Structure formats: C-alpha cells, structure tokens
C-alpha cells in the first residue's frame, strides 16, 4: 500500500486518535503513516463488541442461575475469548473450561484466582462476584 492509500475516513471508536499503518512512501521505503481509520473497520469492531456484550449477558444469566461460574462472565466482559484467556493465564484450555463450572470455580485456590484476576485486570473480589 502506498502512503496516499492509507485510509483516512475516520473511525468513531478512535475518538479522534490515530493509529499507525505501514505504507510505502514516495522513496520506496516502508514507514508508519498515521491513519484515522475507515468505516469498514469501525463496523466490524462494533459487531465484535456487540457479540462480546451479548455473550457476557448470557454468561451472567447462567452464573446467576448457578449453571456457570463468574469467570466466564468476566472473561467476556474483559473482551476476551477462551483462547485469549488461556494464553493470558498460561493454562490449558480444558482446565479453564473446567473452571467455568461453579463447583470447580468454588474450589479454586487464591493463587489461581489471582492469576485470572490479573489477566483480566480486575480484583479477586470482583472475579468472585457478578458485579462489573
């Protein structure tokens, strides 16, 4: 992509900020060019955020009914999916999925709770509750 082709349509999610996109300049060298983003990017990002918000609501209902642990709700609220939570905590997928069960979550040690809370940027007390 040439530097003149870098999208500058604007993205409301950036709130006036810009991001760097790499493009080829007139001298033929690749360099970062500030971009205001483009509308397609905004639409796709909004769809992804809406999906995560919906999943968080569904997980919160399951947790309130005792069918899931608060861990799943907080994972979606932190804009994460299972793969990202596993990567962030260094735990195996099967283990994290097991901790989505209320019985397994209730038996977690403080060490594991801190690990999850740190990965999501929340406190252990918040992780144990269904409060955002």
pLDDT category at 132 given cuts 50, 70, 90 is: confident
Helix (H) or strand (E) holding 124: helix 124-128
In this predicted structure, what is the pLDDT of residue 46?
92
pLDDT category at 99 given cuts 50, 70, 90 is: very high
In this predicted structure, what is the pLDDT of residue 13?
72
**DSSP for 76-118, written as a single string:** HHTT--HHHHHHHHT--HHHHHHHTSHHHHHT--HHHHHHHHH
Q: How far apart are CA 77 and CA 57, in angstroms?
A: 9
* Cross-strand bridge partners of residue 8: 37
**pTM of the model as a whole:** 0.79
DSSP 23: E
From the options 3.40.50, 1.10.1760, 3.40.720, 1.10.260, give the CATH code of 41-128: 1.10.260
**First-residue to last-residue Cα distance in the chain:** 42
**Range(s) within the chain of domains with CATH label 1.10.260:** 41-128
Mean per-residue pLDDT for 24-37?
Answer: 88
Mean per-residue pLDDT for 19-27?
Answer: 87
pLDDT, mean over the chain: 92
| pLDDT tens digits along 48-72 | 999 999 999 999 999 999 999 999 9
């Amino acid at each position: 992509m040439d530097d003149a082709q870098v999208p500058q349509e604007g993205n409301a999610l950036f709130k006036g900020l810009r991001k760097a996109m790499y493009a080829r300049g007139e001298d033929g060298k690749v360099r970062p060019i500030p971009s205001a983003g483009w509308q397609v990017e905004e639409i796709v990002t909004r769809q992804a955020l809406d999906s995560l918000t919906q999943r968080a609501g569904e997980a919160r209902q399951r947790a309130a009914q005792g069918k899931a642990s608060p861990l799943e709700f907080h994972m979606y609220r932190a804009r994460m999916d299972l793969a990202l939570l596993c990567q962030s905590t260094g735990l195996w997928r099967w283990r994290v999925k097991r901790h989505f069960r209320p019985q397994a979550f209730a038996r977690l040690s403080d060490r594991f709770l801190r690990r999850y809370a740190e990965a999501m940027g929340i406190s252990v007390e918040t992780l144990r509750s269904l409060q955002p």
